[in-house]
Amino acid sequence: MKFGKIKFSEIEKLYLPKDHKQTQNVLHKHKPQSFEEIRIGDSTWTSLKPNGKKTKLSEYQEKLNAVELNASFYRNWSPNQYQKWQEQVDDNFKFCPKVPRQISHYKRLDNCELELNYFIDGIANLSANLGVTFLQMPENFQANEVNLLRLAHFIKLWPLELPLALELRNRSWFKEKDYADQLNNLLLAHNISSVITDTPGERSVLHMRLTTKTAFIRFNAMNDTIDYERINEWLDKIENWYCKGLKKLYFFIHQGDNDNKELLLSYFIKKLNKQYHINIKNPIELI
């Protein structure tokens, strides 16, 4: 993830901000008996490179229980291709497709019904392996009435039965209170999650404002020891949300071309497994 990427020398300390007051209202202060779902993954299955070799999907799914399907962003794949991917994974694996850029970036959600229906027909072939789909809008998609209407129209087209999360990257959606409130009321009304992006160079998107009891986190790593400090802080935040009523967690770690990326993923998963007495797939077992 290039968005918000900065040099390590430019970082003093990266703290998680306080929760938005809406988060507490969404979670209702009711601790569940256990998480309904925890999904941890990478941005692509080919980026896990043991011994310098790219992994196949069938190999990746043996190590992690979810993946961001960013391939769907660059191309609106055929339903047959989604079926081929689905056939390579076990029953407990989840794909999180990204809405094609043809819809989000090129058409900016206008007149996109044909492309959207084709995309929905495709991801339907993932069947039980379909996780949360996410819509990422470009950085220049600013908060205004026109764009708010575009989002509202897209949401009306989206099938209610398919979980959806929205990622916005323009800080105006988080800095201008009127639009921020209108947006989040829209998401609340349609049970759509708001993606939280933890990237060092743009902290406005780390909004800590949940709109459902599903947290969808995209973590942009620095590939340095500071990442472990950041992950530890996220572990505390996840526990805090869980005690207030969080039911599902989707957490994807972006590390770029890092041959040791399994270490951070494994560290995070091991901590979660111990904290919640679960057994999430771990790419490597650390002592």
pTM: 0.93
Measure the CA–CA gap between 60 and 74, rounded to whole angstroms. Answer: 21
Tell me which of 133 and 200 has the higher pLDDT.
133
Banded pLDDT at 259 (limits 50, 70, 90): confident
Q: Which of 42-51, 76-85, 106-115, 208-217 has the lowest mean pLDDT?
A: 42-51
What is the arithmetic mean of pLDDT over 163-186?
98
Query: What mean pLDDT, rounded, does the chain reach?
Result: 93
pLDDT band of residue 14 (cuts 50, 70, 90) is confident
| CA–CA distance, 196 with 206 (Å, rounded to integer) | 5
Average pLDDT over residues 13-39: 89
* Of 247, 169, 233, nearest in space to 16 by CA: 233
For 250, residues 6+ apart whose C-beta sits below 8 A from its C-beta are 39, 66, 96, 131, 132, 165, 214, 215, 216, 217
Per-residue pLDDT averaged across 225-248, rounded?
Answer: 96
For the record, the structure tokens of 42 come out as 């990478």
Domains and CATH numbers, the chain: 19-276 (3.20.20.410)
Instruction: Quote the longest CA-to-CA distance of the chain.
Output: 53
pLDDT at 287: 37
The pLDDT value recorded for residue 167 is: 99
d(CA 141, CA 71): 22
Q: Per-residue pLDDT for 204 more than 70?
A: yes
